[in-house]
Amino acid sequence: MKIEDKKELKNDLNHIVEDLEEIVENVEEMEEQPGEEQKKEVTENLEKVKEQIAALEEGKETETKKKEKGFSIFGITIWRMLAYFVIYSVLGFIVETIFAFFSEGVIESRKSFLYGPFCAIYGVGAVVMIVGLQKCKKNNFTLCLGGFLIGSVVEYLVSLIGELVFHVKWWDYSDMAFNLQGRICLTFSIAWAALGVFLIKIVNPIVDKVIDKIPVKVWKIGSLVIVIFMFIDWIISSFAMQMFFMRIVDNHHIELKDGSEYIEICRDLYQEEWIKNIVDTFWNDEVMVKTFPNLRVTTKKGAVIYVSKLYPEIHPYYIKVFEPIHLEKFEFIMTKKGE
């Protein structure tokens, strides 16, 4: 902080202290001779203090935004979006891990990629919702409506991209009421509405405070480094996933709905001894099943199969703590079982 800024802040704080001292004196007078005039004076002084504190907070926020700089959408800079993406990806990983523990009784991988504790779907969803809901912050109703629409659109697109680009099915709501192509359904869209309010009103203000306590340069560089790491992780994971699909097709004689051209390319690459050694060492069946325990694939006949069920000898988790309740019912609702 510059010397001039320190002086200005000191003066502002002195004014606040003086106003508070005056309020104390007025309160003492009120105790001796209570009257409407003293009450009015105390109220006015309190309002002054509130305004001065609000001005200080606004000035601090403005100063932070100036330091961030860069292109922004609805007042949120790209740098802050990167920070949101990283933070919510980590929080998503933690939430998913806790959910797996209580719902399935296991400690298992809920990562989006092979390395790093990140659930990128949460990161993307949070950024889109935070930015998209900036114009819906008037009241809880508009936040609910915005969360319902934005959350549903994001969920649909993520599901579609997963199938078209990665040839995987992360979830399937086909057996749930009011679903659209199994990608979204009314139940989870309502959950998105509630999440929108919770995110904007409670969670994100806390995240903003945490970010603002860190020097701007530090969290900018940190966010950029982590995002680059995640990008490299994504590239490696995509390659390893395609190699895994190739082995699934060849070893289990399953015809996948999409991606036959990639399977042929992978077969050719797998013939190279050095590539085969790397794949078999670092991305073998056990590694892939344990890292992506809930991975599903769709056959040409439309059946959706849990990949882990193709490898009964491999436990799709790290540690089993207790037996879950109604697991079969949960699986039946969430997926279309295929032979």
Q: Please indicate, yes or no, whether residues 105 and 192 belong to a single structural domain of this protein.
A: yes
One domain, residues 97 and 59: no
Sign of CA dihedral 273, 277, 278, 283: positive
Domain annotation covers residue 224 = no
Residues 83 and 190 in one domain: yes
Please tell me whether residues 279 and 311 are part of one structural domain: yes
169-178 tens-digit pLDDT: 777 888 888 9
Residue 80 placed within a domain: yes
Contact 292, 109 (CB under 8 A): yes
Same-domain check for residues 107 and 210: yes
Which of 68, 90, 109 represents a domain boundary (last residue)?
A: 68
189 and 76 share one domain? yes
Mean pLDDT of 174-183: 88
Regarding whether 175 and 97 lie in a shared domain, the answer is yes
- The answer to whether position 264 is within a domain reads yes
Would you say 77 and 70 are in contact if contact means Cβ atoms under 8 Å apart? Answer: yes
The residue among 58 and 296 whose pLDDT is bigger is 296
199 and 77: one domain? yes
What's the chain's average pLDDT?
Answer: 82
How many domains does one find in the chain? 3
In terms of domains, do 80 and 209 share one? Answer: yes
303 & 329 share domain: yes
User: Phi and psi for 2 in degrees, rounded to 5?
Assistant: -70, 160
Each residue of 300-322: pLDDT tens digit?
A: 887 888 899 999 999 999 998 88
Q: Is residue 234 part of a domain?
A: yes
pLDDT of residue 121: 87
Q: By C-alpha distance, which of 47, 52, 40, 46 is closest to 23?
A: 46
Q: Residues 109-161: pLDDT tens digits?
A: 999 999 999 999 899 999 999 999 988 887 888 999 999 999 999 899 988 88
Q: Are residues 236 and 318 in the same domain?
A: yes
Q: Residue 147 sits in which domain range?
A: 72-218
The C-alpha atoms of residue 100 and residue 104 are separated, in whole angstroms, by 5
